[in-house]
Chains A and B, each alone.
Chain A
Amino acid sequence: MEKPKGKPFLEILAASIHEDFRFPILEVFAFLYAISTFVLVQIGGGYTLSIAGSEESLAYSLVSIQMGTPLFIFLILIFKNVAYGFGSDLEKGTIQTLLAYPIKRHMILTAKLLSAIGISLAMFLGIQLFALYLMAPQTVANHMPTVITAYLASLSYPLLITAIMLLIAMKVRKGGTALVLGIVLYFAISMASGILTILYIFTGNATPLKILAIIQPSTALQFHYTRIGTLISQGRIETWTPSFSEALTYIAGGYCLVAAAYLITYYYFSRRLNI
């Protein structure tokens, strides 16, 4: 039997990239990222002439508005690569070819994830930072920590969903089913976020929002920069305004959850998955 050329890890990585990003998938998504980044800033951006707002909150709102649709496109790409791609590999049995390589299972999963998430993430962040630099170089340069924090907060939730989706794909071993379940999960959490925000506005109880902020740390950062008042307490407006360090704690909590989800996924793939 002929030995595979090069290091097995790189071989698997190259094969995965070739499969996940056939020409012109990468190019089409780059086009979509770039165009949605700019177009949506203007549609969503009500800050063209801002009245004495702070530049830090402008930097945050610029990042959060600019990220909206591209983040959704990023999720579609991830869903395609992880849920559909990985699920189909398990369904069709092509994963067995990869398992034939002289390499540990967790390394195979790492190569698959590097291809599925790593490249998508690099392209997403690259285009986002490029667009930010084109839009407001001075604001971005002056408030780099705010920009980085906003990205960290917003990426935690998609990464968590990806890990859960990967676990579902391994469990059901069907690309289509994993994809549908992933989409359902994503919309369920998004709807829960909306409902909890409305509940907070009407009741003034911020506890459910605080729990949500662990899954979706961008909520804490949003409430830090945007004061959202409640409709209760006899004319006195109560707000949940977490401090910046509190928001950072929520982000750290969110990433702990992400790390735990990936650890479970790795454990399941390495020890429990029978192929």
Chain B
Amino acid sequence: MKRLSIALGRIGATFLAICLSLGVLLLIPQASIGIPISGSEQLEPMSYSIVTPLGLQATLTPETTLKMEFRTNSTLTVYLVNLPTEDIPKNLTSEKLRIFLKDKAGNVLIEKKIAEKETVEYTPAGMVRTTLILLNEESQTASVAWSMEFLASIAPKARLAKAIIYLSPLGIALAGQWIFIEIQDRKRKSLS
């Protein structure tokens, strides 16, 4: 029983050491890489526009976060899809585009309604060829301005934070019981 407690306690302490290292990594700030790109356009009612953030041949890898900032005077739907730009049909109606995206649901990375000013961040889980689609389903013309930048980090911060959230309570529980039993043992020894 005592050995099991020690073994579990050491595993818990190891988890806490890993959490500590992940915590240190979280403190390292993200760095902007490359030159931020920006643009603006007018979107007719029920129309869409295709933007290729990385150029035609490039892919986005997991240590890079794509940060996109939008300003619009209307409400737009932003789609970030894992498809080469040339695979996305250009002259569809908004209805048909929705059907197309429904068929390619597995490739849709982000689907978000934006209004006024919004920032959207995306960190891929694997290699992706990102294409951005801005869809205006409103009855009036929308003007939209967007800017994009790539942020490189040691590791995806959201996933690091998630790992710490799950791992640290487990580590505290496992190491805690070990420390508790050790303290009780010492008390017992000092009494006897």
Contact = CB atoms under 8 A, between A and B. Distances in A.
Interface of A: 14, 21, 23-24, 26-28, 30-32, 34-35, 38-39, 41-42, 45, 47-53, 55, 58, 123, 127, 130-131, 134-139, 141-142
Contact of A23 (B10, B33, B125): B10
A137 B126 CA distance: 7
A48 B33 contact: yes
Given A134-B155, A137-B125, A45 B57 contact: no
A55 B13 contact: no
Contacts of B62: 135-136, 138-139
Interface residues of B, number: 36
A42 B152 contact: yes
Given A135-B63, A139-B62, A139-B127, A28 B17 contact: yes
Nearest to B22: A34
B25 interface: yes
A96 B54 CA distance: 66
B97 interface: no
Given A35-B21, A127-B18, A52 B58 contact: yes
B25 A39 contact: yes
A45 B127 contact: no
B38 interface: no
Interface stretch (B40-48, B71-79, B136-144, B156-164): B156-164
Given A38-B155, A39-B154, A50 B58 contact: yes
Given A24-B13, A30-B17, A48 B63 contact: yes
6 contacts: A24-B13, A24-B17, A26-B14, A31-B20, A35-B25, A131-B155
